[in-house]
Amino acid sequence: MITDPPRVDGFELRALSEADAAGLRDLFSDPEVCAFMDIEPLQTEFEALDIIDWAEAQAAQGLGVRWGIRRPGDPRLIGTVGFNRIERSRGRWGEIAYDLARDQWGRGVMSTILPAVTARGFTDFGLLRLEAMVTVGNARSCALLERMGFHLEGVLARRGWWKDRAWDQMVFARLAD
Ligand SMILES: CC(C)(COP(=O)(O)OP(=O)(O)OC[C@H]1O[C@@H](n2cnc3c(N)ncnc32)[C@H](O)[C@@H]1OP(=O)(O)O)[C@@H](O)C(=O)NCCC(=O)NCCS
């Protein structure tokens, strides 16, 4: 199953579900977490449910999956990670995405988790290419991807439009071979 979570020592990953609405609202209510994301900081659980519904629909169609991240024994949702997109018909690539609560930054959490996620992409999903779209200015995300062996392929100027303005986006990629 596409939603089967990768195993990572010290963390529990589980596909997002409606039970995560409050946790996701809390996570994405932080303007610092959302600074480079294509969403305004969330205010309500209903807004979080929209995101969860989208993630569940992607998973139901085999087009993507998003796992919530927790530490064993702690109910708090500290982040999410997964594939915004999985293309297996007219290509073999996936787009990864990830986020952590602000107090989890600088502790190596995503560097610990991403290898298991990229392994799902290359080994279990049979993808040849993983990519990540990063808004220009998101230095932490760039550093993370470089640590994970991704390379900057270029900048898509004015690719995004949210928060009432255009955003340039960097394309990072890592190939299976
Ligand atoms: C992108 C994001 C997940 C990166 O978080 P991060 O904490 O910088 O990355 P990691 O979890 O891999 O941790 C690396 C940091 O922990 C430190 N660290 C501590 N122990 C470590 C370990 N065992 N392994 C690796 N790094 C470790 C590293 O030195 C680094 O800190 P530094 O950058 O201050 O030197 C985070 O900034 C975030 O959630 N941002 C908001 C959402 C977002 O923008 N998502 C990306 C959209 S493209």
30, 133, 145, 92: CA torsion to nearest 10: 130
- Site to substitute for ligand 1 among 40, 96, 130, 144, most atoms within 8 A of C-beta: 144
Nearest partner of 173 among 149, 155, 156, judged by Cα: 149
Task: Inform me whether the pLDDT recorded for 17 exceeds 90.
Answer: yes
* pLDDT bracket for residue 177 (50, 70, 90): confident
Nearest partner of 138 among 38, 17, 22, 25, judged by Cα: 38
Closest C-alpha residue for ligand 1 atom 33: 106
Can you give the residue ranges of every domain in the chain?
Answer: 12-128
pLDDT value of residue 147: 98
| Residues in contact with 20: Cβ distance below 8 Å, sequence separation at least 6, in sequence order | 48, 52, 68, 77
Pairing of strands 93-100, 129-135: parallel
Q: In what order do the strands lie in the sheet with 165-175?
A: 12-15, 65-70, 79-87, 93-100, 129-135, 165-175, 151-162
Atom in ligand 1 nearest the alpha carbon of residue 33: 41
Atom in ligand 1 nearest the alpha carbon of residue 140: 8
For residues 16 and 48, give the distance between their C-alpha atoms in angstroms, rounded to a whole number. 11
Ligand 1 center to residue 104 CA distance, Å?
8
Give the count of beta carbons closer than 10 Å to the beta carbon of residue 152: 13
Task: Inform me whether the pLDDT recorded for 121 exceeds 90.
Answer: yes
Closest C-alpha residue for ligand 1 atom 3: 99
Rounded (5°) CA angle 131-51-108: 50
Q: What percent of the chain has pLDDT over 70?
A: 100
For residues 83 and 166, give the distance between their C-alpha atoms in angstroms, rounded to a whole number. 24
Closest C-alpha residue for ligand 1 atom 42: 99
> For ligand 1, is residue 154 a contact (CB within 6 Å)?
no
69 has which bridge partners? 13, 79
Atom in ligand 1 nearest the alpha carbon of residue 104: 7
Tell me the CATH architecture of domain 12-128.
3-Layer(aba) Sandwich (3.40)
pLDDT value of residue 92: 98
Q: What is the mean pLDDT of residues 140-146?
A: 98
Atom in ligand 1 nearest the alpha carbon of residue 132: 48
For residues 155 and 116, give the distance between their C-alpha atoms in angstroms, rounded to a whole number. 27
pLDDT tens-digit profile of 25-36?
Answer: 999 999 999 999
Q: What is the mean pLDDT of residues 167-173?
A: 98
Ligand 1 center to residue 90 CA distance, Å?
33
pLDDT tens-digit profile of 63-115?
Answer: 999 999 999 999 999 999 999 999 999 999 999 999 999 999 999 999 999 99
